[in-house]
Chain A
Amino acid sequence: MGNKTLDKASKGKFLKINSLPKGIHRIQLLRFGITEGDIVFCLERLPGGTVVIKKNRQEIAIGFDIAKNISCSYHS
């Protein structure tokens, strides 16, 4: 299970977040409750790389430009 960026994640898979981007997006993701090591569910991956992840009941849409800087791996 190698590292990949979130924009390339498959729909319907659990993902482990390995690293978040630096700067303001990192802070915003932390506030949304997404941290390194978290297990999230890939609810949808739209053409072009916009991804919707789910953590507990919370759904977060992440645009391609942020998703491509989030490193993750599949979690079984």
Chain B
Amino acid sequence: MNNQAATEPVQELKQTGNNPPGKKLKIVLVGNPNVGKSLFFNQLSGGYVDVSNFPGTTVSVTKGNYRNYEVFDTPGIYGVSSFNDEERVARDIILEADIILNIVNSLYLERDLFLTQQLIDMGKKVTICLNFSDEVKRRNLKIDYQKLSDFFGVEVIPFSAVSGNGFNRLDFAIENAREGKRLYDISRIKNKTVYSSIPDAELIMIAEGDDIISERYGLPVAGFDERELIYIERRNAVNELVSNAEYEDSSSGRFFNLLGRLSIDPKYGIFVLLGVLTLMYFFIGDLVAQRLVGFTEGEIGNRLFEYNLKLYVGEFTPVDVTAELMNVEDEVTESRNFNFPAGIDKNSDAYVEMNQFIDGKNYALSFHYPNWFYKLLFGEFGVISMTITYLLFLLFPLVIAFYFAMAFLEDSGYLPRLATMMDRSLNKLGLNGKAIIPIILGFGCVTMATITTRILGNEREKTIATAILQFVIPCSAQLAVITVLMASAGFVPLMIYSFVILTVLITLSTILNKFLQGSYSPLLLDLPMMQFPKFNNLMKKTYYRTLGFMKEAAVWFFVGALIVGLFDITGLLKIFQDMLAPVTVHWLKLPKEAATAFVMGIVRRDFGTAGLFEMSLAPMQITVAIITITLFVPCIASLMVMLNERGLKTGMMIWAATWIVAFAIGGIVAQIIV
């Protein structure tokens, strides 16, 4: 292997008219995970994409336009090859690239420059963008940019993407991208006839044993030996370069370093975790889920929006209104029905009578539309009324808070450390340490946590984690109701509840671990530095994720409300309640009305649990009811996401199994304790 001479910079790129007609040159952003590629992409394309601190969360490729170029963002990779989907996607885009902006984390030169040398060996036109230059200064590090540039034979430009420093040099970076000094002598194999027509970039891939590229050219796989030889040579060269080009003055003893250490310490790590969970509970569970959502859903959603909407609709269609008068403690003291067969404003006598009844008093009106169509749209499960209240006044604030907390955890660098600490415990459940992330998120919202199972290594782990989420993890809204009910039931019921749920968790994952083929993927995780996240980044991330989620969830909420609404107006809901009653009364030893809670639980888990408030239950009955409803089917949104993520067959199997397990376990507990 020897160094080949660097070729000329691509000055002709300045003349965008030189581009072939109808074909734009492709700029591709390439780098390891969490190096800030997305911020560069945002700067170039003008459209922000997700920036994440957890390795591997940028899974899709994003395309944009900058001047006369097409710009591609690629998933974070450590090397160009075909080991996983992300690498395969990135590899194919890189092979097509005209210009590569290689984004490098200045703090992890040794790791990142391995990929850089590979890109240069591929013969691509490259500029190295050294990100986090602010952090380099802050940590008293010195990097010899000239030495790096001389070694690679390409431009090396410092940037700080978070603060925007260096972005004015992006044009220079693009215009001066050029082929660098190759470490691997391609001519050695290029001379052979069989390889002579293959482009250099592909040829390097073949030499590195890339099966897919070899197959594309009808060649046998080069084999691991060649790859390892190239990798070791590349690795050694980069290590030597970095040891000569980087100097460290001082950096230890910092608070976040200490926090990082403590969070993976076997003794203190658990306290860091408890601290994080407590903060999350107070922020999401208490401040937002209880206080803020209590106001937005109760006051704005129900009392303002739905009330006025239903009153307005009642002017056009027959409606029966139930007016309830309440005392200062919101207890119903008097109730009367008013019928408006021609609509509220056309039945003036009844309207005057109703106004006299409620005038000056604390009252609540509920509207019942005899017309099935209006009932479907604006009734109890109204496709318009209920869905908008759910989406805008309940889910929206929760999702914002949740994504904000999630972004904070991601950008702080804590989650990979937590995954490390939990790895061995989760191995016993057939999972990789990373599975702790969706499980923790599940206590916030099972629906979003189900999406997060994407970070896991294989389908088997995703299925086990999804099943755990759907079976045993109560979401924040449900958890709040459970807490209140359990507080009234006492200590022993709480212990019984915790014991049963934990037993189901261990049994369920043990069974799945035993019967699903394969095993967990071993942990090999790069731990990003611990830091206090940048507020702007958190806000941007929260905004774009919330927007994405709301767009996706909205459709399913309308569909769910439509289905339940149709069940309601066709009488199927009532039939279902009656069907379930024998199980409820004889097996679970609960009042007949508890069946309604389960039906409501299908729509939303916390609705089902909240329905139990209405009933006067003994402490042990509360225990049985809460165990059953915790294990019972996930809410509609969660089901829809699960079907999307895990497919129809697996998703429906998990869903059906929750029915069986919930009633079986609930019943067994009931037979013992009630």
Q: Are the chains A and B members of one assembly?
A: yes
Interface residues of A (CB under 8 A from B): 24-33, 35, 43-44, 46-50, 52, 55-66
Given contacts A57-B251, A57-B529, A63-B423, A33 and B524 within 8 Å (CB-CB): no
Contact call A47/B526, Cβ cutoff below 8 A: no
What CA separation (Å) do A28 and B108 show in the bound complex? Answer: 16
Q: Given A47-B424, A50-B424, A52-B264, A28 and B524 touching (CB < 8 A)?
A: yes
- In Å, the complex CA distance between A9 and B525 comes to 18
Question: Are the C-beta atoms of A63 and B432 separated by less than 8 Å?
Answer: yes
A62:B110 contact, CB within 8 angstroms: no
Across the interface, do B231 and A46 meet the contact criterion of CB distance under 8 Å?
no
Q: Nearest CB to that of B421 among chain A residues?
A: A46
Q: How far is the CA of A69 from the CA of B522 in the complex (A)?
A: 12
- Across the interface, which residues of A come within 8 angstroms of B526, CB to CB? 32, 58-60
Q: How far is the CA of A46 from the CA of B433 in the complex (A)?
A: 12
Partner pick for B527 among A24, A29, A31, A60, CB 8 A cutoff:
A60
Query: What residues of chain B lie closer than 8 Å to A55, measured between beta carbons?
Result: 110
Contact present for A30 and B420 (CB under 8 Å): no
Given contact pairs A46-B266, A48-B424, A35 touches B232 in the complex (Cβ within 8 A) = yes
Counting chain B CB atoms within 10 Å of each CB, the highest count among A25, A26, A33, A56 belongs to A33
Q: Is B419 an interface residue (CB 8 A)?
A: yes
Which chain A residue lies CB-closest to B417?
A61
Chain A residue with minimal CB distance to B118? A31
Q: In this assembly, does B381 line the interface, its C-beta being within 8 Å of a C-beta of chain A? A: no
**Which residues of chain A come closer than 8 Å to B227, judged between CB atoms?**
27
Closest to A35 in B: B235
Chain A residue numbers with a CB within 8 Å of B432 are 63
In the complex, how many angstroms separate the beta carbon of A62 from the nearest chain B beta carbon?
Answer: 6
Residues of A with C-beta under 8 A to B424: 46-50, 64
Of A25, A26, A33, A46, the residue contacting B111 (CB under 8 A) is: A33
How far, in angstroms, from A19 to B575 measured CA to CA in the complex? 67
**B456 interfacial by beta-carbon distance below 8 Å:** no
Give the distance to chain B from A23, nearest Cβ to Cβ, in Å.
Answer: 8
For the A-B complex with A32-B526, A59-B527, A62-B523 known, give 6 more contacts whose Cβ atoms are closer than 8 Å.
Answer: A27-B83, A31-B78, A31-B79, A32-B78, A35-B239, A44-B261
A12 to nearest B CB, angstroms? 11
Q: Are A64 and B110 in contact (CB under 8 A)?
A: no
B301 close to chain A: CB less than 8 A:
no
| Interface size classification for chain B | 35 or more
| In contact, A66 and B523 (Cβ under 8 angstroms) | yes
B residues 64-113 with Cβ under 8 Å of A?
78-79, 81, 83, 107-108, 110-111
Q: Are A27 and B522 in contact (CB under 8 A)?
A: no
A55 to B210, CA, bound (A): 28
Check B416 for interface membership: any CB of A closer than 8 A: yes
Instruction: Point out the residue from B236, B265, B423 that lies within 8 Å of A61, measured CB to CB.
Output: B423
Q: Name which residue of chain B comes closest to A54, CB basis.
A: B527
Contact in complex: A46, B114 (CB < 8 Å): no
Question: Which residues from A are CB-within-8-Å of B522?
Answer: 25, 63-66
Q: Is the CB of B114 within 8 A of A33?
A: yes
Q: Contact at B232–A30, with CB atoms within 8 Å? A: yes
Q: How many A-B residue pairs have CB under 8 A?
A: 113
**A-chain residues with CB within 8 Å of residue B525 when the two chains form the complex:** 60-61
Residue of A nearest to B115 (CB): A31
Docked Cα-Cα span, A57 to B112, in Å, equals: 13
Contact B83 A24 (CB under 8 A): yes
| A-B contact list, 24 entries, CB within 8 Å | A25-B524, A30-B114, A30-B228, A31-B231, A33-B110, A33-B111, A33-B235, A35-B232, A35-B235, A44-B261, A48-B425, A49-B424, A56-B110, A57-B107, A57-B251, A58-B110, A59-B260, A61-B423, A61-B525, A62-B523, A63-B433, A63-B523, A63-B524, A64-B427
| CB–CB A31/B114 < 8 A | yes
Q: How far is the CB of B107 from chain A (nearest CB, A)?
A: 6
User: Which partner residue on chain B sits nearest A52 by CB separation?
Assistant: B264
Nearest Cβ on chain A to B225's Cβ, whole angstroms: 11
Give the interface centre of B260, B265, B523, B527 by most chain A CB atoms within 10 Å: B523
Q: Smallest CB-CB separation from B108: which chain A residue? A: A58
Inter-chain contact B264/A44, CB cutoff 8 Å: yes
Given A33-B110, A50-B420: A61 in contact with B427 (beta carbons within 8 A)? no
Could you tell me if A52 and B231 are in contact, using CB atoms closer than 8 angstroms?
A: no
How far, in angstroms, from A66 to B561 measured CA to CA in the complex? 48
Point out the residues of chain A lying under 8 angstroms from B235, CB to CB: 30, 33, 35
Given contacts A25-B524, A27-B227, is CB(A32)–CB(B111) below 8 Å?
A: yes
Select which of A29, A31, A50, A58 is within 8 A of B423 by beta carbon.
A50
Bound Cα distance A1, B662 (Å): 56
Interface residues of B in 224-282 (CB under 8 A from A): 227-228, 231-232, 235-236, 238-239, 242, 251, 260-261, 264-266
Give the docked Cα–Cα distance between A75 and B522 (Å).
26
- Closest residue on chain A to residue B525 by CB atoms: A61
- In Å, the complex CA distance between A35 and B231 comes to 10
Tell me the bound Cα distance from A43 to B51 in angstroms.
28
Q: In the complex, are the beta carbons of A43 and B523 less than 8 A apart?
A: no
Contact in complex: A61, B420 (CB < 8 Å): yes
Chain B residues with Cβ below 8 Å from A27 are 79, 81, 83, 227-228, 231
Closest to B432 in A: A63
**Chain B positions within 8 Å of A57 at CB level:** 107-108, 251, 529
Tell which of A25, A49, A63, A65 has the most Cβ of chain B within 10 Å. Answer: A63
Residues on B with beta carbons closer than 8 Å to the beta carbon of A58: 108, 110-111, 526
Contact present for A46 and B78 (CB under 8 Å): no
A35 lies within 8 A of B524 (CB): no
Q: Give a binary string over B521-535; 1 marks a CB under 8 Å from any A CB, 0 the rest.
A: 011111101000000
Considering the complex, give the chain A residue whose CB is closest to the CB of B251.
A57
> Lowest 9 A-B CB distances belong to which pairs?
A48-B424, A63-B523, A65-B522, A61-B420, A31-B78, A59-B527, A63-B522, A61-B525, A33-B110
Point out the residues of chain A lying under 8 angstroms from B524, CB to CB. Answer: 25, 28-29, 32, 60-63, 66
A44 to B524, CA, bound (A): 14
C-alpha spacing A50/B524, complex, angstroms: 10
